[in-house]
Amino acid sequence: MKQILFSGMIGLILSLVGTPALIKLLARQGYGQYIRDDGPKAHHSKKGTPTMGGIAFILATLIAYFATKAITGDTPTASGLLVLFLTAGLGLVGFLDDYIKVVKRRSLGLRAKAKLAGQSIVGLVFAVLALQFHDDRGLSPASEKLSFVRDFSWSIGPVLFVIFAYFMIAATSNGVNLTDGLDGLATGASVMAFGAYTFIGVWEYTQSCAYFISATGACYDVRDPLDLAVVASALMGSCFGFLWWNTSPAKIFMGDTGSLALGGALAGLAICSRTELLLIMLGGLFMIITLSVIIQVGSFRMTGKRVFKMAPLQHHFELKGWSEVLVVVRFWIIQGLCVAVGLGLFYAGYRTG
């Protein structure tokens, strides 16, 4: 359990100290945020704020994980390395998108096909590799079975799993990307979700089928649950440190570099911990905001009318007169409730076997 404490604290310190150094570097290079003209007017004052801040917590997470392994003398696991690969890989796609925005002064960044191709390559490589690397119990980091709080009894096969995992990764990374846009909103919501996955990893480790079966017959067949908790803790600590500088008024934005990475990390943790469908609740705020965009686009295309003043949903409330801080805090409360319900469902699943 010391690994979880080490990874979280190292990630927090590195991100807290490293982010201001990144702010100075990005500001010196003139890598500032481009603001949409059709967005809320209050956002126009943010123009030029350094972006690509996701670099800070991605590097802090990677260093925290490997430093923890070096300190404790433990060996990195396939599950932990795959989640980190997915995080860093999608972060790289986001970095290219951000770089084009700030250097080329093109608001849309990467072309849609290029961005989709990048996400597809990283997501598909992760999904294929996650079915490899079996341990001595025959468990791979991911399973061909769908899962809620643990695997269902039926398998969908490797091909359908890879397709499902790809869409899950794309949906989650784009969901966090849509949530990003208000100071600290996506960062704070992600901290809560990573906290939940830290708990889930520890619980699955202590209730592993390798050496424990409860009175109800419940246990967890997960390849590396403790290491998933180490990764989640590193992510949580790194995001906490970044939030110090990202909260209102933000000194730096995470950009697509950060939002795609965080979404990928959440999807990877869900897949490897066998809680794929539970992520809908643990990432409830991301799902709600994504649905608001789907509803807005669908309504406009079918009826020519908009349901919200602006999508994603957070901007709708800004245009209704809510202050940015008010929107962020209330949306954090919603995410906190979603995480609480999600953990409740996870524990109920354990109790009922």
List per-block mean pLDDT (blocks of 10 residues) for the chain, which spans 353 residues. 95 97 89 58 63 96 98 96 98 93 70 88 97 94 94 93 96 95 95 98 91 66 96 98 95 95 98 97 97 95 91 94 96 98 93 69
The two structure tokens encoding residue 73: 């003398």
Query: Does residue 314 belong to any structural domain of this protein?
Result: no
Q: Are 273 and 231 in contact (CB under 8 A)?
A: no
- Residue 158 falls within a domain, yes or no? yes
Q: Which of 196, 180, 166, 182 is nearest to 290 (CA)?
A: 180
**Spatial CA neighbour of 126 closest among 172, 76, 82:** 82
Was 38 annotated as part of a binding site? no
Is 113 within the bounds of a domain? yes
Residue with tokens 């899962």: 147
Structure tokens of 147?
């899962």
Q: Which of 114, 129, 200, 201 is nearest to 166 (CA)?
A: 129
- Distance CA(272)–CA(223), nearest Å, equals 8
Q: Encoding tokens for residue 85?
A: 């690969």
According to the model, what pLDDT value does residue 44 have? 46
256 is in an annotated binding site: yes
Structure tokens at 123: 């997501």
Output the six-digit token pair for 240.
């906490």
Query: What are the C-alpha distances in Å from 20 to residues 26, 238, 250, 287, 302?
Result: 10, 13, 12, 31, 46
| Residue 157: both structure tokens together | 């096969």
- Asked whether residue 268 is assigned to any structural domain, the reply reads yes
Q: Tell me the three-class secondary structure of the chain, residue by residue.
A: CHHHHHHHHHHHHHHHHHHHHHHHHHHHHCCECCCCCCCCHHHHHHCCCECCCHHHHHHHHHHHHHHHHHHHCCCCCHHHHHHHHHHHHHHHHHHHHHHHHHHHCCCCCCCHHHHHHHHHHHHHHHHHHHCCCCCCCCCCCCCCEEECCCEEEEECHHHHHHHHHHHHHHHHHHHHHHHECECCHHHHHHHHHHHHHHHHHHHHHHCECCCCCCCCCCCECCCCHHHHHHHHHHHHHHHHHHHHHHCCCCCCCCHHHHHHHHHHHHHHHHHHCCCCCCHHHHCHHHHHHHHHHHHHHHHHHHHCCCCCCCCCHHHHHHHCCCCHHHHHHHHHHHHHHHHHHHHHHHHHHHHCC
With respect to residue 349, please indicate whether it lies within any of the assigned structural domains: no
Per the rule left: phi > 0, alpha: psi between -120 and 50, beta: everything else, 181 is: left
Measured over the CA atoms of residue 98, residue 102, residue 106 and residue 107, the dihedral's sign is positive
Residue with tokens 């590396």: 224
Residue 232 lies in a domain: yes
In a domain, 327, yes or no: no
Considering its fold, how many domains does the chain have in total? Answer: 1
Chain-centre distance of CA 198, in angstroms? 13
329 in a domain, yes or no?
Answer: no
pLDDT value of position 45:
52
Domain that holds residue 267: 1-277
What pLDDT, on a 0 to 100 scale, did the predictor assign at position 209? Answer: 85
